Chain A
């Protein structure tokens, strides 16, 4: 079969994006990972293996499902998509654009170890498995956008600019950020044993509040984002003060 790349017009060449430095893709690593941050695309969980694989193949998975479809209401869907994470060579930022295109490099995880998520081998994991597993790192907003760009490339051989992903994901990523603030205000003082249950309750309250106040729609409008953030954060503070 002919290679489509041979027929491509070189003038239309476009490369994938890369982080400016390794650390830019991470939101938190190891002990920095906080359970007040809602589960999100790009989160890596340890101690999990995708169905159909041997534990010796991998024992970490990366959530590949888009943040928009990760939840139904406030709760995680019963089953979510994930990809295996394996040991991999270090991929320097300069190599992201034109190579290692079917993996999402996870460099410098703890100072010496380099991993990568294999984007060509998706599987399904249950939400119960996620809740009992250990989250070992989370991606930054830029990290999530880079991941999405590589996923689209892997499944459709289409290069979409990060600015488009940024626009598309703004509502979902803003909602994640606001839910984290909401959690901080309303569950920050809970001890670990009670925190998991409390997080479920406040996530439902958050979901009801932004839906009832029409704020979910505001989050899709760039010129109303800041106002929506102000409103939701002030509400979280008000509720926290009320509880105290």
Chain B
């Protein structure tokens, strides 16, 4: 018998549990998660008016030991013959019952029950490292399969969830592949947005701490420690060279300039922490981002917040150079083109000279 539940109930119940469970399966605590998952299934069934009971498991287990010592499970752990009824009323909703599987889990000796031949790719995909013992995998597979086939009204939603968990090579339907790509694109945008928010906040906090330091110390951090030129500093901070000279000789800064100076120091600190750090940031910031453009990281930084984010994404390897420049200005090839006719080389006497290309 299939039980119809509302879309809202489905969201609050089973689907949310599946989604929440997915990343946690990669941790050593997966057994505990599995117990909580089973309990949630149990409760969902109860809430729907069906008999939901799993061997006395009526409260969320707080630890692996507690889970292992639940009467029913403990009994089976001690060697009793597994019976389907040990899963309480749950198994009677499973329509493809072929048998029980008992398996030892990762070191806690927990005996689990599942149904053979009901594994779905989702389970394997969640746990490619093998931390999840076979028994868990099969049980989880069974739970998902039963949920999908018997009492989740919104089957399409669950189906999409499980499709997403398959590797691309396991998919053959064009529509499914397209849907998966769309969902992933949305997810990438969401992560990018969130990453941006977190980074901006991180930068703001670091800047406000740095702004308490003496401006001369901040200038030295950039010029003496990083090796930036005063000209580059003036460009990046959108101030005149004279302003920089005054600051380094002890002149006062406006609150906005002080904030900008601190933000620049914080930006460089952030660049130090990228996955593959740039060897010499002082040189890097002044070098052209590509041979065929006049644009340098310093010039991009000076344009504003969104260009700083592009720069950071590029430095972190999330954007290639052309994409970063396209996002900055679609017409960068025309607007920031290098001189096509002349180049610096070696003159007739061996000295530096401007020569035709």
Q: A interface vs B, CB < 8 Å?
A: 23, 26-28, 32, 34, 140-141, 160-165, 167-168, 171, 173-174, 177, 181, 184, 188, 220, 222-230, 233-234, 237
Chain B: CB-nearest residue to A167:
B344
Contact across chains for A188 and B249 when beta carbons are under 8 A apart? yes
A162, B288: Cα distance in complex, Å: 14
Contact status A226-B249, CB under 8 Å: no
Q: Please, could you name 23 A-B residue pairs with CB atoms under 8 Å apart, sorted by A? A: A26-B240, A27-B240, A28-B245, A32-B242, A161-B339, A162-B294, A163-B339, A164-B342, A164-B343, A164-B354, A167-B343, A168-B352, A181-B223, A184-B249, A222-B283, A223-B283, A225-B282, A226-B227, A227-B283, A229-B229, A230-B225, A230-B227, A233-B224
- Inter-chain contact B344/A222, CB cutoff 8 Å: no
Q: Is the CB of B224 within 8 A of A226?
A: no
Chain A's nearest CB lies how many Å from the CB of B243?
Answer: 10
Of chain B, the residue at the smallest CB distance from A237 is: B224
The answer to whether A230 and B342 touch (CB under 8 A), given A23-B240, A163-B294, A222-B287, is no
Which of these, A168, A181, A229, contacts B228 with CB under 8 Å?
A229
List chain B residues, Cβ under 8 A from A226: 226-228, 280-283, 286
Q: Could you tell me if A174 and B229 are in contact, using CB atoms closer than 8 angstroms?
A: yes
Nearest-neighbour CB distance to chain B for A143, whole angstroms, equals: 10
Query: Which residue on A lies nearest to B336, using beta carbons?
Result: A163
Chain B, residue nearest A161 (CB): B339
Of A188, A225, A226, most B-chain CB atoms within 10 Å: A226
A225 and B283 form a contact (CB under 8 A): yes
For B218-243 the 0/1 string (1 means CB < 8 A from A) is: 00000111111111000000001110
Which residues of the partner chain B approach A237 to less than 8 Å between Cβ atoms? Answer: 224
Distance A237 CA – B229 CA, assembled complex (angstroms): 16
Say how far A222's CB is from chain B's closest CB, in angstroms: 6
> What separation, in Å, do the CA atoms of A174 and B354 have in the docked complex?
18
**Chain A interface SS verdict (over half):** helix
Chain A residues within an 8 Å CB radius of B241 = 27-28, 140-141
A177 to B353, CA, bound (A): 21
- Out of A163, A173, A223, name the residue touching B338 (CB < 8 Å): A163
CA distance A75 to B56 in the complex (A): 95
A23 CB contacts on chain B under 8 angstroms? 240
- Nearest-neighbour CB distance to chain A for B299, whole angstroms, equals 11
On chain B, the residues within 8 Å of A188 by CB distance are 249
Q: In angstroms, how far is the closest chain B Cβ from the Cβ of A219? A: 11
**CB distance B224 to A177 under 8 Å?**
no
B248 in contact (CB, < 8 A): yes
In this complex, the member of B226, B283, B338, B353 whose beta carbon has the largest number of chain A beta carbons within 10 angstroms is B283
Residues on A with beta carbons closer than 8 Å to the beta carbon of B231: 140-141, 173, 177
Known: A227-B227, A237-B224. Contact between A160 and B282, CB under 8 A?
no
Interchain residue pairs A-B with the least CB separation, the first 7:
A161-B339, A226-B282, A226-B227, A230-B227, A226-B283, A229-B227, A167-B344
Q: Is the CB of A184 within 8 A of B344?
A: no
Per-residue contact bits, chain B 322-357, to A (CB 8 Å; 1 contact, 0 not): 000000000000000011011110000000111000
Q: How far apart sit A199 and B294, CA to CA, in the bound complex (Å)?
A: 36
Whether the Cβ atoms of B248 and A225 lie closer than 8 Å is no
Which residues B274-296 have CB closer than 8 A to chain A? 280-283, 286-287, 294
Chain A residue, CB-CB nearest to B338: A163
Contact partner, A168, options B223, B240, B354, Cβ 8 Å = B354
Q: A140-B241, A161-B342, A223-B280 are in contact. Are A229 and B223 (CB under 8 A)?
A: yes
Q: Which residues of A contact B223 (CB under 8 A)?
A: 181, 229, 233
List chain A residues, Cβ under 8 A from B249. 184, 188
Cα A171 to Cα B353 in complex, Å, equals 12
Is the pair B229, A177 in contact by a Cβ cutoff of 8 Å? yes
Q: Given the complex of chains A and B, what is the CA–CA distance between A165 and B280 in angstroms? A: 24
* Cβ–Cβ < 8 Å partners of B227 in chain A: 225-230, 233
Q: Which residues of B contact A34 (CB under 8 A)?
A: 245
Residues of A within 8 A of B281 (CB): 226
**Which residues of chain A are within 8 angstroms of B228 by Cβ–Cβ distance?**
226, 229
Determine whether the beta carbon of A160 is less than 8 Å from that of B354. yes
Question: Complex: how many Å from CA A68 to CA B287?
Answer: 22
Given A163-B294, A173-B231, A225-B286, 16 additional A-B pairs, CB 8 A: A32-B242, A34-B245, A160-B342, A171-B352, A220-B352, A223-B280, A223-B283, A225-B229, A225-B282, A226-B227, A226-B282, A227-B282, A230-B226, A230-B227, A234-B224, A237-B224
> Provided the pairs A168-B354, A177-B229, A234-B224 are in contact, do residues A229 and B344 lie with their beta carbons within 8 angstroms?
no
Shortest Cβ distance from residue B213 to the other chain A in the assembled complex, whole angstroms: 18
Most buried by B among A23, A227, A229: A229
- Select from chain B the residue with minimum beta-carbon distance to A152: B354
- B287 → chain A, closest Cβ, in Å? 6
What residues on B are CB-neighbors of A141 within 8 Å?
A: 231, 241
CA of A230 to CA of B287 in the docked complex: distance in angstroms?
17
